[in-house]
Amino acid sequence: MSTFKPKLFSVMKTYSKEQFVKDVIAGIIVAIIALPLSIALAIASGVSPEQGLYTAIVAGFVIAFLGGSRVQVSGPTAAFATIVAGIVATKGMEGLVVATIMAGIILIIMGLCKLGTLIKFIPYTITTGFTAGIAVTIVIGQIKDFLGLTFSGPAVETMEKLTQVVKSIGTFNYEALIVGAVSLAILIVWPMIKRPAFLTKIPPSLIAVFVGIFMVKLLNMNVNTIGDLYTISAGLPKFSLPNVSFGMIKDLIPNAFTIAVLAAIESLLSCVVSDSMVNSRHNSNTELIAQGAGNIASALFGGIPATGAIARTAANVKNGGRTPIAAMIHAIVLGLILVVLMPYAALIPMPTIAAILFMVAYNMSGWRTFVKQCKTAPVSDIIVLLVTFILTVVFDLVVAIEVGMIITCVLFIKRMSEETLVKGWKIIDDENDPDAISLRKVPKDTMVYEISGPMFFGAADKILGITVHEDMNNLILRMRSVNAIDSTAINALKTLNDSCSKNKVRLILSHVNEQPMNALKKCGLYDEIGAENFCEHIDAALKHAEE
């Protein structure tokens, strides 16, 4: 199990009092940043405000303690907002707890199976598409509170919310818009202005929260606050087991896989970014196990799904955090804030929360990357990007990822099948190739075909396109450029061998590489063709044909 050793245990060997002080300072600053974000993301996810803090406290501590990164800070993120809101709306909190626990188990299995590096096989176009789609859904979901609208009916799905915005525009509250606009202006302008060093540590979201509260209270504005819509609990999270049924597990499997994939992608991406900041190297499999354990713990203590948060991780590094202790301090500080100050969260205006989420959506959208992809990427990639984006907004993230992956796989298969060529020797001659067939004497009763590229189900029809004539004595397949073969291609090769046997034509294979050779031996086709008909080189194959 040394492969899965948490970073905490490694860094403690050289830990110092000076670094502890730096970690404490970084942890406190990150906690201040995480406070309004955790509350806002919980509301965006359709759960009560304190559940965002439960997630940051429980998952943040567990993941830091067990994780494979020195500086990763985990908690609720915008990536989960739409899927969590959908689960809560259809399956309730019980369903969310079960889905999160299942996702945690999947993450642990991924880590134990050392699948940390497989996340790179999720196409960039899909991650770009659904990230931009999530940003749009967050914006649409917050228009109601930003404008102070009163919906005339229930709205769960993104398109339902957009429809209700249009229908309810007559209930527009100008006071809510003023509070939201001022909060949004603070979020945009505060990082740009020059200010004393001690003020640079205060996040703009916290300034916006205080200004929003003072505006509503001092000016007696008719604006909804968190306390008007939610009953806030100031106690520490409590352990609770969900009521689980087989039917619920079956229904939630797609959602659980989506949560697990999102958690894996975002956490490992955050690890990669943080590695470059501190000149370190994370353990991806250990991190996946920690993310799984953190999500299970979060669900059992009333939280929502969690993953590595790039912005909070960057803030941790910027403020001197260099060990998992900083992220653990961040969780402890949030626990103290939850107990002491959480009742005051009821005063936060909803338009301020909407403004904070607008900025979260903008920062995560990657719109410049999205536009650049649409201008420069191949047409097939643009199709995947737009389909994933549209499905995320119109339907949900589960559908978007499933369809996006299917389209990507189909397009990949098409491209790979186009790379696989089966051509007769007269076509493939190359004067600059020292192994060219043109430099060899080919018997007149022998036909040579060269196969280039992987032999798989997408290219099996090209193998079947090889014609066997009665006036032939030998058919040579030159396979020096075939590095892989699958069962469909093996079946096509068997069909070709049967056709050769029927017409009394000897099938000879030249330069068969290791994987195809092992596959042919395993399925028995090696024996059917005959060991004597496998030649190391084209010269040996031609000589064998001449004999």
8 Å CB contact between 381 and 389: no
**C-alpha dist (Å) from residue 2 to 7, 216, 412:** 11, 55, 37
pLDDT of residue 430: 46
Q: CA 339 to CA 177: how far, in whole Å?
A: 31
Residue 209: band (very low, low, confident or very high) from pLDDT cuts 50, 70, 90: very high
Burial class (CB in 10 A: 0-12, 13-18, 19+), 38: buried
Nearest by Cα to 284 from 113, 159, 425: 113
pLDDT at 432 > cutoff 60: no
Q: CA 278 to CA 294: how far, in whole Å?
A: 24
pLDDT of residue 446: 87
The CB-side HSE value for 327 (13 A sphere, CA atoms) comes to 33
Q: How far is CA 467 from the centre of its chain?
A: 46
All residues at 6 or more sequence positions from 179 whose CB lies less than 8 Å from its CB, including other chains:
212, 215, 216, 221, 223, 349, 351, 352
8 Å CB contact between 147 and 172: yes
Write the DSSP symbol of residue 201.
Answer: G
Token code pair at residue 266: 């975002």
pLDDT of residue 294: 97
Residue 428: band (very low, low, confident or very high) from pLDDT cuts 50, 70, 90: very low
8 Å CB contact between 286 and 110: no
Q: What is the mean pLDDT of residues 353-367?
A: 92
For tokens 């004597």, name the residue: 532
DSSP 398-450: HHHHHHHHHHHHHHHHHHHHHH-EEEEHHHH--TT-TT-GGGSPPPTTEEEEE
Residues forming a β-bridge with 474: 446, 506
8 Å CB contact between 268 and 25: no
pLDDT at 120 > cutoff 80: no
pLDDT digit string, tens, across residues 291-349: 999 999 999 999 999 999 988 999 999 899 999 999 999 999 999 999 998 888 999 99
Nearest by Cα to 102 from 312, 276, 319, 251: 251
**C-alpha dist (Å) from residue 111 to 28, 250, 252:** 30, 23, 21
8 Å CB contact between 205 and 37: yes
Q: CA 547 to CA 540: how far, in whole Å?
A: 11
Q: Which long-range contacts (CB under 8 A, 24 or more apart) does 164-170 make?
A: 165/140, 168/144
- Tell me which range, 237-246, 290-299, 486-495, 506-515, is most confidently predicted by mean pLDDT: 290-299
The maximal CA–CA distance of the chain, rounded, in angstroms, is 102
Residue 2: band (very low, low, confident or very high) from pLDDT cuts 50, 70, 90: low
pLDDT at 100 > cutoff 90: yes
Q: CA 441 to CA 439: how far, in whole Å?
A: 7
pLDDT at 436 > cutoff 70: no
pLDDT of residue 401: 87
pLDDT of residue 426: 43
Structural domains in the chain plus CATH codes: 17-409 (no CATH), 421-546 (3.30.750.24)
pLDDT of residue 438: 52
pLDDT of residue 481: 86
For tokens 């970690």, name the residue: 23
Residue 440: band (very low, low, confident or very high) from pLDDT cuts 50, 70, 90: low
Write the DSSP symbol of residue 349.
Answer: B
All residues at 6 or more sequence positions from 387 whose CB lies less than 8 Å from its CB, including other chains:
129, 400, 403, 404, 407
Token code pair at residue 60: 């943040």
8 Å CB contact between 266 and 294: no
Coil, helix or strand at residue 377 = coil
**∠ Cα 84 88 92 (to 5°):** 145
pLDDT at 427 > cutoff 50: no
Token code pair at residue 435: 């192994």
Q: In this prediction, what percent of the chain has a pLDDT beyond 70?
A: 96
